[in-house]
Amino acid sequence: MVPWYRYATPYMVDSGPGNANLGAKVFFVWGSFCALSFAFVWAFIYETKGFTLEQVDEIYAKVPHAWKSPGFEPTVKFVEVAEEVVQQQPYEGGRRPTLSEIEASAIRRKSSVGLPDKDEKLAEGEIQ
């Protein structure tokens, strides 16, 4: 399938019967498409750079809008999930734990060990 813009651009730029004769004003057509594309990406495409698939699943579940995704920090890392899967026994009927159950278990384990939360790290950083 040939992209439509390759077919339409000469007719928008050229003069003569049946042509739009826009010349350099065709910039406003393509510039508006670029602006709309930028707005679409900002509003609907989540920032997932550097995340594992499990973390991408978590960001889609926890962040309601794509423009809020750059500040997202996952609650558990892939290594922690892998450790939880190895440590846990299958549930009744051989059912494996879900990602949310593994996440809750990893958070409980972190809190029992006494690792500081993100807010506690910020408070310590402000004191020093």
| HEC string for 5-59 | HHHHHHHHHCCCCCCCCCHHHHHHHHHHHHHHHHHHHHHHCCCCCCCCHHHHHHH
- Compute the distance between CA of residue 3 and CA of residue 7 in angstroms, rounded to an integer: 7
Residue 24 and residue 82 in one domain: no
DSSP 8-state assignment for residue 125: H
Residue 70 and residue 99 in one domain: yes
Residue 30 and residue 57 in one domain: no
Residue 63 and residue 81 in one domain: yes
Number of alpha carbons in the 13 Å side-chain half-sphere of residue 17: 0
pLDDT score at 39: 96
* H/E stretch holding 80: helix 78-87
Residue 94 and residue 112 in one domain: yes
Residue 37 and residue 95 in one domain: no
Residue 120 and residue 96 in one domain: yes
Q: Output 127 or 22, whichever has higher pLDDT.
A: 22
Calculate mean pLDDT across residues 5-14.
Answer: 86
Residue 62 and residue 120 in one domain: yes
In degrees rounded to 5, what are phi and psi of residue 36?
-65, -40
Residue 40 and residue 58 in one domain: no
pLDDT score at 107: 76
> Is the overall model pTM greater than 0.75, yes or no?
no
Q: Which domain does 66 fall in, by range?
A: 53-127
Residue 91 and residue 121 in one domain: yes
Q: What is the mean pLDDT of the chain?
A: 80
DSSP 8-state assignment for residue 89: P
Residue 123 and residue 63 in one domain: yes
Count of domains for the chain: 2
Residue 67 and residue 97 in one domain: yes
pLDDT score at 89: 67
